[in-house]
Structure 1
Amino acid sequence: MLNDKLSTYSPSPEERKNLYQPPPDNELKELIPGLLKAKLLILWAERMDWFLGLNMGIYQDSDQESIMPDAFLSLDIERFYHEELRPNYLLWNENIIPSFVLELLSATYHQKYTGKWERYQDLGILYYVIYSSRRRRKPHLEVYKLVNGKYELQSGNPVWMPEIGLGIGCERGNYSGVTREWLYWYDADGTRYLTPEEQVKQSAQRLQQESQRAQQEAQRAQQEAQRAQQEAQRAQQEAQRAEQLAQRSEQLAQRLRELGVDPDNLN
């Protein structure tokens, strides 16, 4: 099945030029997929059955040049081979077709819709995601799902991808010190997962709140101790006054005896 998919597409020389030419340098092409990977490294930290490649060549066979999405995600795959990691993604070795590819559109993005679209579709990649914040007439984010061998546009933002267990969407936020629209992962309820920076900030706030609560508890305990000490002091003072009254009573009784009066039979 995999070999059949790999042999269905053979690009023309002109298509090869457009498909495989490295994209122009663009900081967002590093930061946007980098954010997705950074979050996934936290979200799926305990899982070792996934691989997210960034600007990495996917090779169909040894005789063809690679096709290079901005990001792709494969599931049910060994996450690490060894400490040198993957230099590229060789389909004939991996035997796993990516479930998800991401293309960040530049000012001239026609080939993202034609040559790459068809290539990904023929390979059987389940989700094809296109993003560009430059768009004015079309949505910034388009998520296509492979249905009966053809890509169909999915509605909504974010879009839930049940086969992957993640949603993807775009909204304004701050990452790496930049406030703009970013791509994020979402849960099944449409709740955005926090970025690593947001998690650190949230953890710091939580720790600060816990510290404040602990400080308040310590202050309340100190106040209770002070009140208890004051109560003990008052009790001691009352005991001293009672002792003084008893002493005066005994002195008076002794004086009466000296005068020949029995203090016990004063009636």
Structure 2
Amino acid sequence: MVNYDPSARLPSSKELPDSDDTPVDNQLQKSIPDLLRSVLAMAWADSMDWFFGIRMGIYYDPGLPAIVPDAFLSLGVKRFYDENLRSSYVLWEEKKLPILVLEVVSQIDRGEYSTKKAEYARLGFLYYVIYNPFRCDKPRLEVYKLVNNAYELLNGDRVWLPEIGLAIGMERGTYLGIPREWLYWYDEQGQRLFTPQEQAKQAQQEAQEALRRVQLLAERLRSLGIDPDSLT
């Protein structure tokens, strides 16, 4: 956990660097968080008290560089402050720890199972999610929960997160035209939340069905000698 002296002069988010100049190792490290964020943006469209950051610096100590997970989710904070959005996530300004951090493992070991795991536990992030698409003999998705200051592995390919009100899991699907295994959010009944593309497709199908019903009704009226246009 982190604590700050309220009388100390701490740098603001506008004064801190907004990048650690570390390149993203592969496309999945951006695409997977993008999917998770886009689904939340639709599921929680009317809620303004959450934030999902992607490759954004989290400042937890004014004397140290930011940590930059592939993604993180915070609850109970403003979704955005102004039209310029956040440049970084500064804990002494936000006053809320991220509730979940995500790392998508690349072919280069960046300490996801060791140093990062220990650091995130020390900072007090409740959930730590690791997705490793390159694993064959071990689970590709691991979800840890902080219990007594240490991470405990939660079982299953789909894990319910009661503090968030959603489950996170993996399954094959198509996102941005790419068929593969993706991470998704699920509701309490285990139903997967739609991506924006899936929701748009469903809305289009429902509109086509509604139009077809109208056309069938018009044909039925005409068969009975009634002009449907005269009813409008």
TM range (shorter): 0.7 to 0.9
Instruction: Give the gaps of 5 or more residues in structure 2.
Output: 5-19, 227-232
Instruction: Give the structure, 1 or 2, with the largest relative contact order (CA under 8 Å, sep 6 or more).
Output: 2
Instruction: Trace 1:23-34 onto structure 2 (pairs within 5 A).
Output: 23-34=23-34
User: Which residue in 2 is equivalent to 1:118?
Assistant: 118
2:141–2:170 CA contact under 8 A, matched in 1: yes
Instruction: Trace 1:101-116 onto structure 2 (pairs within 5 A).
Output: 101-109=101-109, 111-116=111-116
Residues in 1 aligned to 2:110 and 2:26: alpha-carbon distance in whole angstroms: 18
User: Which residue in 2 is equivalent to 1:89?
Assistant: 89
User: Which residue in 1 is equivalent to 2:73?
Assistant: 73
Residues in 1 aligned to 2:136 and 2:216: alpha-carbon distance in whole angstroms: 53
Greater helix proportion: 1
Q: CA RMSD in A?
A: 1.7
CA displacement, residues 165-221 of structure 1 (integer Å, 9 cap, x when unaligned): 111000000010100000100001111111111111111111111111111111111
2:53–2:72 CA contact under 8 A, matched in 1: yes
1:57 Cα deviation after fit: 0.5
1:37 Cα deviation after fit: 0.6
User: Which residue in 1 is equivalent to 2:200?
Assistant: 200
Task: Name the SS for the 2:218 alignment partner.
Answer: helix
CA displacement, residues 236-258 of structure 1 (integer Å, 9 cap, x when unaligned): xxxxxxxxxxxxxxxxxxxxxxx
1:58 Cα deviation after fit: 0.4
Residues in 2 aligned to 1:111 and 1:136: alpha-carbon distance in whole angstroms: 19
Residues in 2 aligned to 1:83 and 1:26: alpha-carbon distance in whole angstroms: 29
Task: Name the SS for the 1:62 alignment partner.
Answer: coil
Residues in 1 aligned to 2:108 and 2:38: alpha-carbon distance in whole angstroms: 28
1:224 Cα deviation after fit: 1.4
2:2–2:60 CA contact under 8 A, matched in 1: no
1:2–1:95 CA contact under 8 A, matched in 2: no
Instruction: Give the gaps of 5 or more residues in structure 1.
Output: 5-19, 227-267
- 2:170 aligned with 1:170: yes
The percentage of counterpart residues that share the same residue type is 51
Residues in 1 aligned to 2:24 and 2:209: alpha-carbon distance in whole angstroms: 46
Pick the structure with greater CA Rg.
Answer: 1
Amino acid in structure 2 at the alignment position of 1:99: I
Instruction: Trace 1:30-45 onto structure 2 (pairs within 5 A).
Output: 30-45=30-45
Residues in 2 aligned to 1:174 and 1:185: alpha-carbon distance in whole angstroms: 14
1:132 Cα deviation after fit: 1.5
- How many residue pairs end up in the alignment? 212
**Please, what TM-score do these two structures have when normalized by structure 1?**
0.76
User: Which residue in 1 is equivalent to 2:139?
Assistant: 139
Amino acid in structure 2 at the alignment position of 1:45: A
User: Which residue in 2 is equivalent to 1:62?
Assistant: 62
Residues in 2 aligned to 1:140 and 1:219: alpha-carbon distance in whole angstroms: 55
**Against the structure 1 CA distance between its residues 21 and 139, is the aligned structure 2 distance closer, same or farther, given a 3 Å change threshold?**
farther
1:29 Cα deviation after fit: 1.3
1:22 Cα deviation after fit: 2.0
Residues in 1 aligned to 2:110 and 2:29: alpha-carbon distance in whole angstroms: 17
1:115 Cα deviation after fit: 1.3
